[in-house]
């Protein structure tokens, strides 16, 4: 009884001060949310610390072979010395540059070809089976062919990365273009517009959400394509570093490069997430 009346008074006070009254249940709910979040966060940390701890201790006690599996401290040392001698920035920079270049090419080519196909229904009718085939082909199978054709250089890497994502992008965009409501096209015609106006005023602006979600997928795919390309045809970049170091059994460098790739993909993911919010 006492509790209740005190609460009532508090509630009234709050209202008088213009602060929205928060009910007990709401407070409890918010606290629950917070607790849940803290629980998840702590377990994420615990898993990481346990993983790194076992790895490090295992490597030091000889329980696992540090020469093959490396160890967190050796990875840290390697990363620091790579940062000092500049090779970290060099190889990461190359991989990032190749990824961005491929990403923009995929976007440009994807939108361009999709517009062409939408514009010319005959062309799309003719090309559709080829696009479907190319899209379902495992693109890593093409990479060796590109090396023969283009040489073991950056061109091959970019082409390999573009080939991984461009066909899917074209098909997804083209289908999304074609599904635009018939009446919206009619509207533009009744307002005196032509096909170009339909494209500019309805098709392109109406498909911005599709393009953004494709961008999200394609940035990841471009990175995959670049690494495949670097495995086969590079003299620099993280993919090259992984292959080279594994061949000369420098597992510290291999694991460090994989660690750097993890960092890159997390950063790229956040960059796109930020873009999506806008």
Residues at the site binding another protein, with contacts judged by CB under 8 A: 181, 183-184, 186-193, 197, 201-202, 205-206, 208
Q: Are 167 and 131 a contacting pair, CB within 8 Å?
A: yes
Q: Taking the complex as a whole, how short is the minimal distance between the CB of residue 277 and another protein, in angstroms?
A: 17
Q: Taking the complex as a whole, how short is the minimal distance between the CB of residue 211 and another protein, in angstroms?
A: 13
Nearest to another protein of 165, 188 (CB atom): 188
Nearest to another protein of 201, 216 (CB atom): 201
Q: Taking the complex as a whole, how short is the minimal distance between the CB of residue 226 and another protein, in angstroms?
A: 34
Q: Taking the complex as a whole, how short is the minimal distance between the CB of residue 209 and another protein, in angstroms?
A: 10
Nearest to another protein of 138, 192 (CB atom): 192
Cβ neighbours, 10 Å, residue 263: 11
Nearest to another protein of 20, 205 (CB atom): 205
Report H helices in the chain.
2-16, 24-61, 66-69, 72-85, 87-119, 121-136, 143-150, 154-178, 182-190, 195-197, 204-206, 208-233, 238-247, 251-277
**Beta-carbon contacts of residue 190 (< 8 Å; ≥ 6 apart):** none
CA-to-CA dists, residue 126 to 167, 171, 198, 226, 253, angstroms:
15, 14, 23, 31, 49
Nearest of 138, 105, 133 to residue 222 by alpha carbon: 105
Three-class SS of residue 179? coil
Nearest to another protein of 113, 188 (CB atom): 188
Q: Taking the complex as a whole, how short is the minimal distance between the CB of residue 121 and another protein, in angstroms?
A: 16
């Amino acid at each position: 009884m006492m509790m209740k009346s005190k609460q009532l008074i508090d509630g009234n006070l709050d209202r008088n001060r213009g602060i929205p009254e928060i009910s007990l249940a709401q407070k409890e709910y918010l606290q629950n949310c917070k607790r849940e979040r803290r629980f998840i966060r702590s377990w994420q940390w615990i898993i990481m610390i346990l993983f790194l701890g076992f790895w490090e201790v295992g490597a030091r006690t000889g329980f696992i072979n540090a020469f093959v599996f490396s160890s967190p401290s050796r990875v840290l040392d390697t990363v620091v010395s790579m940062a000092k001698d500049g090779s970290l920035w060099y190889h990461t920079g190359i991989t990032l540059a190749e990824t961005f270049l491929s990403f923009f090419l995929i976007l440009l080519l994807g939108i361009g070809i999709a517009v062409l196909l939408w514009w010319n229904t005959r062309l799309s009718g003719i090309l559709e089976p080829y696009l479907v085939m190319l899209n379902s082909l495992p693109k890593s199978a093409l990479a060796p062919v590109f090396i023969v054709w283009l040489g073991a250089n950056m061109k091959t890497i970019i082409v390999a990365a573009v080939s991984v994502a461009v066909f899917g992008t074209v098909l997804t965009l083209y289908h999304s273009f074609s599904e635009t409501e018939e009446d919206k096209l009619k509207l533009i015609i009744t307002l005196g517009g032509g096909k170009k106006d339909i494209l500019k005023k309805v098709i392109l602006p109406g498909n911005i959400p599709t393009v953004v979600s494709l961008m999200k997928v394609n940035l990841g795919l471009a990175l995959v394509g670049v690494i495949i390309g670097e495995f086969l045809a590079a003299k620099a970049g993280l993919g090259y570093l992984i292959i080279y170091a594994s061949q000369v059994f420098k597992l510290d460098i291999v694991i460090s490069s994989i660690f750097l790739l993890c960092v890159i993909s997390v950063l790229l993911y956040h960059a796109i997430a930020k873009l999506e919010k806008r």
